[in-house]
Structure 1
Amino acid sequence: MGAGSAIPTPAIRYWKINMASEELNPHMPPRFVELKQEIASTYPDFEERVTRAWNEILEELESTTKEMIIPHVSYADLDSLTPEQVEDIRKKGCVVIKDVVDDAEVAKWREELKEFVKANPNVPGFPEGDKQFFHLYWTRSQVLARAHPNVLNATTFLNKLYHVKDDAQLDGIDLSTPLVYADRFRIRHPGIQWDAHPPHVDGGAIERWEDPTFRKCFAEILSGDWRKHDPYDLEGRVNARSSLYQRPGQATIFRTFQGWLALSETAPHQGTLKLFPDIVTSNAYSILRPFFRPKATPVSDDPLDAKNWEYDISSPDFPGIFGRDKGFVGPRPNNETHPHFRLDETMTSVPKVYPGDMVFWHCDLVHSVEKEHTGNNDSAVMYIPAVPTTPQNKEYVRKQNETFVQGITPPDFAKLTPEATYIGTGKPEDIVHPLGKHAMGFQIEVA
């Protein structure tokens, strides 16, 4: 059976996440009415300006399917890309970087991961009984991959797409010196229906509106000048509080781009990543969506018609944000809450990648994972984001370094069985390159 061929129904093993089991609550606390009112009072003529912006954004979204293409470049060409290529990456908010790591080296990492899981059958992962997404951070393969100089150079390229408008704000910020954020890996089997990762945005939920510093990142959108929004402006980013409620699994570090390293071939329809490659328009729509609602009496038969929507700040709800674990998750846009995204049409699968390729997407970009894997082989990736040097990130990496040395779960994640008890865990001495040592926190001084 060739790649992309349909799998006979009896062979499909279904795995469905019961969202109710997560205790997701779409209704927000009443106090969030005051948050909307506070935001509205911050900007002159807020209702008039955002209503005009809203109508423009909806018109822009009508044509987004025409340019839903994910850029790809070669690692060897990163230093010689044309201005047009760089601008395309910035506009789309995502990129595939080919041939970052040698195939043979990646193949060795993949086999060692499989051996690690086999040698330690009780490692945490899901789904139970057929683990494929592993809550592991310090296997030797992961440690070596994160510290690889090519991987770190690739993340530096992404970090340097950002900037600050005022040099005085550069204190403690170094976009040329990458850091490491320890995350997990997956080895996904063919035929699984995977409902765990619908369209969503990481790196802060209600915090995007609630934290005044984080909110600065979207000031142009909230003032109605959404086309001037610069998702690569560091003002607000470096000190934003993306985890006001200390919910386990909520990242506190600033990642310019999320990313993964391909450990196997993976193509569309083989359980790969899907992206909404238009960062400015998607941010603008997501940020203004809580201030508008469908009219009770539609003006036309088209539910997407701007005339069928109206300004409203009387509700505490933020569509796509859900209460959970005494905190909040999201944004999680869907066809009901964010119909103008037309997610069934616009979410774009990453083109075929090979072992050693890397995929990166902007920290605000809507992304998801394909439900089905119709290929014949495992689809394996390590999650490795781009992390710049900032005071806040340095402090996190310092704490993360301590967990690495002890072989325990990194700070942002729920505490699990110490990985030091497993066979094959990575050690500090496995990192030999100076760039990797610094990125992992062995040569960082925190003021």
Structure 2
Amino acid sequence: MALHIDDLPAAVRAAKRELRSMLPDYRERFAQVQAAMIDEAERIAALRARGEPVIPEIRFEDIVADRVSAAQIALVKARGACVIRNVFDRALVEQWDREIADYVERNDLDTKLQNRAEDKYFGQLASSKPQIYGVYWSKPQVLARQSAELTRARVFLNRLWRAQSEGRVHFDPERVPVYADRLRRRPPGSESLGLSAHCDGGSIERWIEPNFRKVYRHVFSGNWREYDPFDAAWRTDVEEIASPAVCSMFRTFQGWTALTQQGPGDGTLQLVPIANSMVYVLLRALQDDIAEDDLCGAMPGRALSIKPEYHAPLFHALSSIPLMQPGDTVFWHSDVVHAVEDAHRGKGYSNVMYIASAPACAKNDAYLKRQLPSFLKGNSPPDFPADHFEAGFIGRATVGDLTPMGRAQMGLDL
């Protein structure tokens, strides 16, 4: 279900009154959180300044061989992100990139993009949006999503979560449903096409919607050190405000697969690799310098903006991901702050396929039933602007391109 709010300022004022009454020492608690965030952000910044990696890296072959160490897993859970190397063979991915370029050009997508629907999801961010194409059903995207390799990687990521807690089973980590998402094709030399820092998966809902409050129950009760970003309790029950490009599935990790080589300076992804940084964001909005009807600029149906004037400590940790090769993937926790560099100063295209990690649960199964007709018709999926560019495209994927695993992941067998 979608959350509907008639009088937003009144709802925000009421939420802040209630949350403060539940946490009368909200100032002191926030001071503790702020000190902890400053320390962690400065530690990450120091590592980065020394040229040491701040985003954990895992080899896909180690996932397959079940030899990812406990220390590696602990670091991924602390940072809320990881790069997984060599998920796909480089030659295969380079072929996919050529096929996507041909698919886009053959169907004259650039002309159609001039009439695209505006989702306004990033509308309040200082930087607008990178060159993201409303393409979901090219054969390379469908093949990558249903691949045994990426499925194995996403099951590994799903298992990092506590799928059972509070006396309930929240999801099945072994089943990986498809969440069809878009492409980025960013030419060299593009300027001011990035995204300023933000979080996806809920904006004002995090303070207002009852199940979101249960997700962050330890934060709002003052026991913020007990908050576990990887506890799935209540996350599959939250309700979002409906809006184009607002994800209504539960994703354990957002992610993308590199189609081309790209790294720092190439208009690539940046992360604040602190898994529990949402604690800071939530309590910051309750402080006395924020207007009673304001949540640090959070707006309904939009990305949750993270701003220097409110969240300055987090920006010390904002770091570009390392150099990626075709076939590498990067994943980040659904609450992790992320951004995209404004300028692409590299020499080649910076291309990715957005493919997240999501587990099977009632919330996600319900979305599959809504998404399936979009695949069959070549339309844009329910969470995205209704452009429906691909309905008449030559060469888009069809049911005949699905493997048995692909059929199950698409929900054809539900």
The letter for the 2-side match of 1:334 is K
The letter for the 2-side match of 1:276 is V
- Find the aligned partners of 1:443 and 1:240 in 2 and give their Cα distance: 25
- Find the aligned partners of 1:374 and 1:182 in 2 and give their Cα distance: 29
Query: Displacement of 1:401 after TM fit?
Result: 1.5
Structure 2 contact 194–339 (Cα < 8 Å) conserved: no
RMSD over aligned Cα atoms: 2.0
> Partner residue of 2:230?
232
> Partner residue of 1:260?
256
> Partner residue of 1:288?
283
Does 1:335 find its partner at 2:300? no
Matched pairs, number: 383
Deviations along 1:364-404, one digit per CA (max 9) or x if unpaired, are 00000011111100010000000100011011112212210
- Give the 3 Å change call, closer, same or farther, for CA 167–288 of structure 1 in structure 2: closer
281, 290, 296: which one aligns with 1:319: 296
Does 1:366 find its partner at 2:351? no
> Partner residue of 1:216?
214
Structure 2 contact 263–324 (Cα < 8 Å) conserved: yes
- Find the aligned partners of 2:310 and 2:390 in 1 and give their Cα distance: 40
Percent identity of equivalent pairs: 33
Aligned 1:11-410 pairs, distance under 5 A:
29-41=9-21, 43=22, 46-48=23-25, 50-63=26-39, 64-67=41-44, 69-78=54-63, 79-122=66-109, 124-125=112-113, 132-166=131-165, 168-170=167-169, 173-241=171-239, 243-244=240-241, 246-280=242-276, 282-294=277-289, 315-322=292-299, 327-341=300-314, 343=315, 345-410=316-381
Q: Which runs of 5+ in 1 are unaligned?
A: 1-26, 295-311
Give the TM-score normalised by the residue count of structure 1: 0.82
Deviations along 1:330-371, one digit per CA (max 9) or x if unpaired, are 321111122232x1x321000001000000000000000011
Query: Displacement of 1:418 after TM fit?
Result: 4.7
- Give the 3 Å change call, closer, same or farther, for CA 174–165 of structure 1 in structure 2: closer
- Find the aligned partners of 2:42 and 2:156 in 1 and give their Cα distance: 28
* 4+ aligned runs moved over 3 Å, structure 1: 122-128, 164-168
Deviations along 1:85-122, one digit per CA (max 9) or x if unpaired, are 10100010000000001111111110011001111114
Structure 1 contact 126–133 (Cα < 8 Å) conserved: no
- Find the aligned partners of 1:272 and 1:67 in 2 and give their Cα distance: 19
Larger gyration radius, structure 1 or structure 2: 1
Query: Displacement of 1:158 after TM fit?
Result: 0.9
The letter for the 2-side match of 1:442 is L
- Give the 3 Å change call, closer, same or farther, for CA 374–336 of structure 1 in structure 2: same
Structure 1 contact 403–409 (Cα < 8 Å) conserved: yes
- Find the aligned partners of 1:133 and 1:166 in 2 and give their Cα distance: 37
Query: Displacement of 1:40 after TM fit?
Result: 2.7
> Partner residue of 1:441?
411
> Partner residue of 1:419?
390
Q: Secondary structure at the match of 2:198?
A: coil
- Give the 3 Å change call, closer, same or farther, for CA 427–164 of structure 1 in structure 2: closer
Deviations along 1:247-285, one digit per CA (max 9) or x if unpaired, are 1111111101000000010111111100000111x1111
- Find the aligned partners of 1:219 and 1:379 in 2 and give their Cα distance: 40
Q: Secondary structure at the match of 1:336?
A: helix
Deviations along 1:43-69, one digit per CA (max 9) or x if unpaired, are 3xx121x32221112212222231351
- Find the aligned partners of 1:411 and 1:204 in 2 and give their Cα distance: 17
Q: Secondary structure at the match of 2:174?
A: strand
Give the TM-score normalised by the residue count of structure 2: 0.88
Deviations along 1:113-166, one digit per CA (max 9) or x if unpaired, are 1001111114554899xx942011111111111111111111111111111453
- Give the 3 Å change call, closer, same or farther, for CA 132–107 of structure 1 in structure 2: same
